[in-house]
Amino acid sequence: MPTPPPLRVVASLALALAAPASSCAPDAAPEAAPTRAVALPGGGEVRVPERATRILPMSSAATDYVLALVPRERVVAVPREAPLYSSSLIRGGAWPEDRTVPKFAAEAMLAVDPDLVIAHRWQPPTDALDAVEAGGVAVLRLDDETSFEQILETVQLVASAVDEPRAGAVLVHELRARAAALTDGAGDRAGLRALSYTNFGSGGWTAGADTSAHAVIELCGMTNAAAEDGSVGHAPLDIERLLVIDPDVILVARGNEEYSAARGYLEDEEALATLRALERGWIVEVPSDLFSANSHYVVDAAEHLAASVDALLAEEE
């Protein structure tokens, strides 16, 4: 008579026979997370998670947009340089260094396991976002915003992508109200010719039409002297051309070592002593994060510029 198998073997066989057939099959692929379509301003759509909880903004402007719409807990990381340039981080409290991405590269972005990456199309290398998508992560590509209306459009787009349409609508309403107050209160600054100026030691630069600085100046009710002179985008500006343009007001950055040298150059260069802005002392310093803002913080920059110019006008009364 054969020896019966041990009781534990019998029990194991019974459990195997009683189990559903599916449990004996190879592991099934996990179900894909639910997604939804977000319409893009220029046509087409992008699919994003139903509600992203590990959002990765990969530019300072994208960081500003995202943090205006969602709590920090839904942001998995930000670019390493964002705490230096993002107004939302500079003005909203420190960001933990261990929640930063060191470079704009697919492997660095994928390493933090995001479920939605938001970045600008122009950021190099331009194929990095393609590689992120190939890794199975949703990507929202933003266009470079160069006007107030484009910025409002981007607020609404990001709000839709992160499933916060109400927060987006509230922010747009607030920004429009603040912009209207700037226009309505322009008074004597209306029509003044303002010029944005930077100099990093190798020559001067200005911001013409199709730049966020242009939007800032226009929001204040002033004229962008560089755009009036024909400049489009960020353009070099030598001494001779600056003397020809001869703006009423010159905007420079404050608080960033790289940007802050501009004022010293303007005041120390003897050839520029006849500029009306220098003769009147009408150089306006704008905090460096606002000076370079290309998100909805252009309204903050405009409010700072408007208040500074109004103060200069009051001094001359």
Query: Do the domain assignments include residue 48?
Result: yes
106 contacts 81 by C-beta, under 8 angstroms: no
Distance CA 130, CA 116 (A): 13
Same domain, 123 and 220: no
Are 228 and 246 in contact, with CB atoms under 8 Å apart? Answer: no
Number of independent structural domains in the chain: 2
**Which DSSP string do the residues of 261-306 spell out, in sequence order?**
HHHHHHHH-GGGTT-HHHHHT-EEEEEHHHHT--STTHHHHHHHHH
What's the whole-model pTM score? 0.87
Same-domain check for residues 158 and 209: no
Q: Sign (positive/negative) of CA torsion 161, 165, 170, 172?
A: positive
List the domain range (segments joined by +) for residue 270.
187-315
**Position 20 in a domain:** no
Q: Are residues 111 and 232 in the same domain?
A: no
Question: 164, 196, 217: which is the final residue of a domain?
Answer: 164
Question: In terms of domains, do 302 and 200 share one?
Answer: yes
In a domain, 305, yes or no: yes
What is the pLDDT at residue 316? 85
User: In this structure, what CATH number is given to the domain that contains residue 79?
Assistant: 3.40.50.1980
Same domain, 47 and 95: yes
In a domain, 244, yes or no: yes
Amino acid of residue 269 = E
Shared-domain flag, residues 69 and 137? yes
> Could you say which of 105, 131, 164 is where a domain stops?
164
- Tens-digit pLDDT profile for residues 52-99: 999 999 999 999 999 999 999 999 999 999 999 999 999 988 899 999
**DSSP state letter for 232:** B
- DSSP symbols for 120-184: ETTPSSTTHHHHHHHTT-EEEEEPPP-SHHHHHHHHHHHHHHTT-HHHHHHHHHHHHHHHHHHHH
**Do the domain assignments include residue 275?**
yes
In this structure, are 310 and 191 located in the same domain? yes
Residue where a domain stops, chosen among 111, 129, 164: 164
Show the low-confidence residues of the chain (pLDDT under 50): 1-25
Q: What is the pLDDT of residue 15?
A: 33
Looking at the structure, tell me whether residues 266 and 301 fall in a common domain: yes
Q: What is the pLDDT, as a whole number, of residue 242?
A: 97
178 inside domain: no
Angstrom CA distances, 185 to 22, 215, 221, 307, stand at 71, 17, 9, 10
